[in-house]
Structures are given as structure tokens and as C-alpha cells.
Amino acid sequence: MSKISVYIIAYNEVEKVTATIESARWADEIVLVDSWSSDGTPELATSLGARVVQVDFKGFGDLRNQAIAACSHEWIFSLDADERCTDEVATEIRRLVSDQNSADVYRVPRRNFFMGRWIKHSGWYPNYRQPQLFRKGRMSYDQKAVHEGYLLNTSKPVGHLKNAIWQFPFKNMSEVMHKANRYSTLGAQRIAQQRLSMGSALSHGIWAFVKHYLFKLGFMDGWAGFVIALQSFEGTFYRYVKAVEIQKGAQWQAPGQINK
């Protein structure tokens, strides 16, 4: 049977990483890809049997490519520190990698738990991200700093797992705001060359809210759906405002001397 490497992306995730590693113990290798965490994450992962690889953070696309390079086996399964592999997914993966007729790359559905409930709408289910199961050499990532895309090196179509992993994206509202701030900063560089204004920042933010709350039926997820839509508004709005800030440069800086 083909062997499987699981790589886990983590940075200062000491409260979450134990459960993630425990959920991947069925694999032949667990590689924790860390970017110099200061909270004990790498030490904890090592004590749990994972092999820790330190990678300077240059964006998520580069980080994931470095993670692929660190994996030893033919098949690779990607987990983030806030994700958990279920027994059903582990069984399905083992079956797929032993099948000579399997695809080379698979997307994996995710069930998200947020604000005390499983989210069924809001664009959060099945909530596929980049393919998470693939043969080594059949997929890589582009170099985008955030919301990185993927590049295929296979003629086979992308497959889809039937069973879902679990994701616990935010522990509390502080994490919601922290992620919106971090991701908006990384994403601002991507759009800084576009023609932008504060008006366009507001319109993109409003559209992000409407898309998640109305068109993706976020209102059916109660207050959690409202918070998800609001977080999407904030992340989008601040991404565009930060890009405008980059464009304005010195115009937004305090003057050297204030005229009295």
C-alpha cells in the first residue's frame, strides 16, 4: 500500500495542534511546518511524534510548497492547525491510495463549527479549499501570499472525497478580528496596482456581506451567520483600504511639522 504523509501548517497554535496531530496518527508520517512559533508549538509537536520543519514565512503559497518538499511519501494530505481529520476521512483516504484507478488530486469537504454550532450555510459548507489530498509531484501552489491557488501536473480530473473533515476556525472573537487584520494586510499587496478608492473599498465590503448573508444563506445560520458575513465585510473592506493606503503613501503620513 502507498504511504501517506500529512503536513500541518501551524504558527503559535499550541492550544489546537495536539488535537490536529492526534487526528492524523493513522498516517505514515506527520510533518509540522512551523514559522518560528514562540508559544511552544514546535516543542509540543515534537513530543507528540511529529517531525518539525521550520520555514521563514514568505506567504502561504511558498509555505505550502516548502511543506510539500518536506514530505517523504508518495501521497500527501494537508491539514491546517484548526482542522481535524475524521475517522471516516482517514478510512476513505486509505482506500483511495490503494486503488490504482484513483485520481491524482482530491478536494476535501469541511464542516465548520463556530459560535457553538455547525455552520450549514454562509459559504462554509462544504467549504472546499485547495485540494488537500494529492500524489507528490502532481500539484503545487502559486506564490500568492494569501488565498493561494494551486497548479496541477496531471491530466486526470480532480476528485472529491465524500466524507468531511472538521474545522474550528476561530476560538473567540479576538481570533476573528486577528485573522481579518492579518489576511487583509497580506491581500492588500495583491490589489495595490488596481485603480482603487475608499468608495470601491466600501462597495466591495458591502458586496462581501450581502454575498455571504443573503446569497449564501448566512441568515439561516443565526447570529453565527451574521458574524461570518460581517467578518467577510471587514476583511474585504480593510484589504482595499490598506491597498489605498499603499497607493497614497506619504499623503497619509503625518506632516513633519504641524502649523499652529
User: pLDDT tens digits for 126-163?
Assistant: 999 999 999 999 999 998 888 899 999 999 999 999 99
Number of Cβ atoms within 10 Å of the Cβ of 178: 12
Q: Please name which of 119, 120, 131 lies closest in space to residue 77, comparing C-alpha atoms.
A: 131
Helix (H) or strand (E) run with residue 7 in it: strand 4-10
CB 144 within 8 A of CB 62: no
Residues 8, 230: Cα–Cα separation, whole Å = 28
Residue 1, pLDDT above cutoff 60: yes
Of the listed ranges 10-19, 46-55, 73-82, 183-192, the one predicted with least confidence = 183-192
Q: Which of 183, 188, 236 minimizes the C-alpha distance to 60?
A: 183
Report the percentage of the chain scoring pLDDT > 90: 85
pLDDT of residue 260: 53
Query: Which phi and psi (to 5°) does residue 169 adopt?
Result: -70, -30
What pLDDT is stored for residue 258 in this prediction? 58
The answer on pLDDT for 81 being more than 80 is yes
97-101 average pLDDT score: 92
3-state secondary structure of 179: helix
Q: Which pLDDT value is given to residue 257?
A: 63
Question: Model-level pTM?
Answer: 0.86
What is the maximal distance between C-alpha atoms in the chain?
78
